[in-house]
Amino acid sequence: MNLIPVIMSGGSGSRLWPQSRALNPKQFLPLVNEQTMLQNTVARLDGLDAVGAPVVIANEDHRFLVAEQLRQMGRSAEAIILEPVGRNTAPAVALAALKAQNSQPATHNDPILLVLAADHVIQDEKAFHLAVEAALPAAMEGKLVTFGIVPTHPETGYGYIKAGEQLIGNGEEGVAVQHAEPKTHNSSLTSIYSVEQFVEKPDQETAQGYLASGDYYWNSGMFLFKAFRYLEELKQFRPDILEACEKAMAIQSQDLDFVRLDEDAFKACPDDSIDYAVMEKTTDAVVVPLDAGWSDVGSWSSLADISEKDELGNAVLGDVLLHDTRNTYVRSDKKLIATVGVDELVVVESDDAILVAHKDRVQDVKKVVEQLKAEGRPEVSLHRKVYRPWGAYDSIDMGERFQVKRIMVKPGAKLSLQKHYHRAEHWIVVKGTALVEVDGKEVLLTENQSTYIPIGAVHRLENPGKFDLELIEVQSGGYLGEDDIVRFEDTYGRT
């Protein structure tokens, strides 16, 4: 058996603005501990038997974030497949299944895929492992397994799975899945049930009925099945999706750690979820209950629910002072936040924005993001600190004809060979060593030394040392936009 994790990392997380931005969404943020949510998802696989390197499905704009966060963990991916456009989960899983099959030896070309979201929280990893292990025999026999979260309250923000009869596995060499007596739901949470129905997000009264019946689970969006079986079912129910994905993969190209698809072929692929395309139509869907402290962290209130709280129900992170405050979530990145006489609020500060919302209205944060997008404001996409494959920069001040950045370059990394038509740059090294090339001439700078890059000069910055390089860049000129870059050569394949 070869178990390949497939990590879906294409979301935007707009309900977690201002922390989550289009170019740095929630799966790449350390929201629940020191690791990012993507890193937690990868680390959660440790302890599973015969698990291979993951296949990560990511947005083109996030490629270097994925690669860097895996590198920080000392991990590598089987592949990082870049979607030129988002086409939902059914095509994404098809891409992973095709890649997994092609990556296996001829004698082991039907791997089992464990499909996970990059931005979920699972607090009880042992229970997660037990559920996966319980599901493996059914997956090996050709079933399409989904994991249903045991509900803790009548949630209206999730879809539900109605479980049917309990299924029992027996036999030593294989597992023959047979019908047993109707389930009681007092059985072990590692039991397997047939899927009777997938249902949409309910209203409050309906959700209460689901919870009381014991027949329903939250739809987690996590799956386990053979790559061949998924593609077989997709071919039966949505051959148009499979055909488009096969065409996109047929003309793939390898670029560093990344698999690039044929853009035109993938853009022609229909947009559909794995639930609608396959799971609701197949007769081989089964559900394994999972009670493991799961959350999709879909809003600030859901993050508050899983956070440690004080005796008044407050959860805080960062430099925070509370007075006469109850049931409130406060998160500070840098500034001191003080609250007085408030209840049931969410207060979140980032480097360039502050959100204040009532807990009952946090789902409407996406409407703020829509307004920012309509107005063309940068806060919808970027933080003040922007990550690049070579490191990061932080825009610490800006005026009409100047901008000041703090730049960090990783050891051994270098920026592209480039020039600017509208701005000059002054660089002052504050930490580490910089190798600077200007119009073909190189100079080595150390702490407290500086250099000047005239308008139109062809230049490059490199960190030849073993420690981070930090410098202050002062730009001056009539136009300071990031699109005033002409690249002549780039290690990272950017144009």
- pLDDT of 388 over the 90 cut: no
In a shared domain, residues 236 and 217: yes
**Contact of 57 with 38, CB cutoff 8 Å:** no
Average pLDDT (322-350) is 97
Kindly state whether residue 483 falls inside one of the protein's structural domains. Answer: yes
Kindly state whether residue 495 falls inside one of the protein's structural domains. Answer: no
In a shared domain, residues 313 and 456: no
**Contact of 4 with 50, CB cutoff 8 Å:** no
Label residue 385 by pLDDT band (50, 70, 90): confident
Kindly state whether residue 291 falls inside one of the protein's structural domains. Answer: yes
Residue 184: its pLDDT value, please?
Answer: 43
Please say which residue of 346, 370, 394 terminates a domain.
370
Q: How far apart are CA 202 and CA 194, in angstroms?
A: 21
In a shared domain, residues 232 and 349: no
Tell me the pTM.
0.87
Please tell me the total count of domains within the chain. Answer: 3
Quick one: three-class SS letters along the chain?
CCEEEEEEECCCCHHHCCCCECCECHHHCCCCCCCCHHHHHHHCCCCCCCECCCEEEEEHHHHHHHHHHHHHHCCCCCEEEEECCCCCHHHHHHHHHHHHHHHCCHHHCCCEEEEEECCCEECCHHHHHHHHHHHHHHHHCCCEEEEEECCCCCCCCCCEEEEEEEEEEECCCCCEEEECCCCCCCCCCCCEEEEEEEECCCCHHHHHHHHHHCCEEEEEEEEEEEHHHHHHHHHHHCHHHHHHHHHHHHCCEEECCEEECCHHHHHCCCCCCHHHHHHCCCCCEEEEEECCCEECCCCHHHHHHCCCCCCCCCEEECCEEEECCECCEEEECCCCEEEECCECEEEEECCCCEEEEEHHHHHHHHHHHHHHHHCCCHHHCCCCEEEECCEEEEEEEECCCEEEEEEEECCCCECCEEECCCEEEEEEEEECCEEEEECCEEEEECCCCEEEECCCCCEEEECCCCCCEEEEEEEEECCCCCCCCEEEECCCCCC
- pLDDT of 1 over the 80 cut: no
In a shared domain, residues 342 and 453: no
In a shared domain, residues 354 and 236: no
In a shared domain, residues 338 and 401: no
Residue 324 lies in domain: 300-370
- pLDDT of 178 over the 50 cut: no
In a shared domain, residues 67 and 140: yes
Label residue 229 by pLDDT band (50, 70, 90): very high
In a shared domain, residues 34 and 70: yes
**Contact of 349 with 335, CB cutoff 8 Å:** yes
Q: Bigger pLDDT: 132 or 175?
A: 132
- Residue-wise pLDDT tens digits, 31-71: 999 999 999 999 999 999 889 999 999 998 899 899 989 99
Label residue 485 by pLDDT band (50, 70, 90): very high
Please say which residue of 244, 268, 295 terminates a domain.
295
Q: Bigger pLDDT: 106 or 156?
A: 156
Q: How far apart are CA 418 and CA 489, in angstroms?
A: 7
- pLDDT of 180 over the 60 cut: no
In a shared domain, residues 219 and 343: no
Q: How far apart are CA 155 and CA 220, in angstroms?
A: 13
In a shared domain, residues 289 and 307: no
Residue 106: its pLDDT value, please?
Answer: 53
Kindly state whether residue 376 falls inside one of the protein's structural domains. Answer: no
Kindly state whether residue 337 falls inside one of the protein's structural domains. Answer: yes
Residue 83: its pLDDT value, please?
Answer: 94
User: What's the angle, vertex CA 357, arms to CA 351 and CA 363, rounded to 5?
Assistant: 100
**Contact of 394 with 403, CB cutoff 8 Å:** no
- pLDDT of 176 over the 50 cut: no
Please report, in angstroms and rounded to a whole number, the separation of the first and last CA atoms in the chain.
Answer: 42
Please say which residue of 271, 295, 319 terminates a domain.
295
Q: Bigger pLDDT: 105 or 28?
A: 28
- pLDDT of 321 over the 90 cut: yes
In a shared domain, residues 81 and 139: yes
Kindly state whether residue 471 falls inside one of the protein's structural domains. Answer: yes
Average pLDDT (258-264) is 93
Choice among 172-186, 190-204, 403-417 with the minimum mean pLDDT: 172-186
In a shared domain, residues 55 and 158: yes
Kindly state whether residue 84 falls inside one of the protein's structural domains. Answer: yes
For the chain, how many residues are written? 495
Q: Give the CATH number for residue 99.
A: 3.90.550.10
- pLDDT of 442 over the 50 cut: yes
Q: Give the CATH number for residue 453.
A: 2.60.120.10
Residue 495: its pLDDT value, please?
Answer: 67
Kindly state whether residue 257 falls inside one of the protein's structural domains. Answer: yes
Q: What does residue 91 show for φ and ψ, rounded to 5 degrees? A: -65, -40
